[in-house]
Amino acid sequence: MRRVRSFVRRQGRLTKRQEDALESEWLKMGIDFVNEPFDFAKVFNNTNPVILEIGFGMGSSLVTMAAQNPDKNFLGIEVHAPGVGACLASAKEENVTNLRVMCHDAIEVLDCMIPDSSLSMVQLFFPDPWHKSKHSKRRIVQVPFAEKIRGKLTIGGVFHMATDWQPYAKHMLQVMTSIDDYKNLSSSSDYVPRPETRPETKFEKRGQRLGHGVWDLMFERINHG
């Protein structure tokens, strides 16, 4: 069976700002892939809860969240080098110290580096919806992926997804509802209003002006039975 990777590798040209940030900040905030589990207490030098964001784009909302929550640790994974550079540059400008970033395939990081029951939240905001039905199998939110995330969350930890593509929102809901040991935090058993913890992106505000919807889903890992 073909393994779903969390990305299609895209290379882009780096701006001077992104290149400089990768050069100057990687030693402080960047983490190279190695085949051994994180010791988050060592990585962050504290035992605060860890929040993982998969595919952070240019990182603006991730940096905002880290700046607003100094009592939490943030780990961001993104394969697009310009996005990683932009995130590092913003983090430096905001004097953020509770953020680490990786430029690698998230599935491999989850499999090899994230210890079980170690994350308080996993965030997946606006992943590629693969609009064409023949490509829908490439969507990252599938049962094996959602089960993998569940194993990495602490009991009471939350998997938070957001999409602006309604068919994908329905697909996410269907996948998540089919899995044991997850509890939907929506009072109407579908979507939740955008929580304060997720900053609105420019892209999202633009979408709202154009009348596009955004769907947030939050599922908590529970002890089954």
Active site residues: 128
Q: What is the phi-psi region of residue 136: left when phi exceeds 0, alpha when psi lies from -120 to 50, beta otherwise?
A: alpha
- Residue 204 marked in a binding site: yes
Has 148 been labeled as part of a binding site? no
Tell whether residue 128 is among the known ligand binding residues: yes
53 is an annotated ligand-binding site residue: yes
Does the CA dihedral 7-13-15-20 come out positive or negative?
A: positive
Whether 201 has a binding-site annotation, put simply, is: yes
For residues 150 and 171, what is the distance between their CA atoms, to the nearest angstrom? 18
**Annotated binding residue 32:** no
Check the annotation: does 203 bind a ligand: yes
For the chain, the C-alpha Rg in angstroms (whole number) is 17
Is residue 186 packed enough to be buried (19+ CB in 10 Å), middle (13-18) or exposed (0-12)? Answer: middle
3-state DSSP assignment of residue 200: coil
Residue 123 · residue 52 · CB < 8 Å: yes
Q: Which residues contact 225 (CB under 8 A, 6 or more apart)?
A: none
Q: Helix (H, G, I), strand (E, B), or coil: what is residue 107?
A: helix
Contact 59, 125 (CB under 8 A): no
Annotated binding-site positions for substrate? 132, 164, 201-204
Mark the binding-site residues for S-adenosyl-L-methionine, compressed into ranges: 53, 78, 105, 128
Which positions make up the binding site?
Answer: 53, 78, 105, 128, 132, 164, 201-204
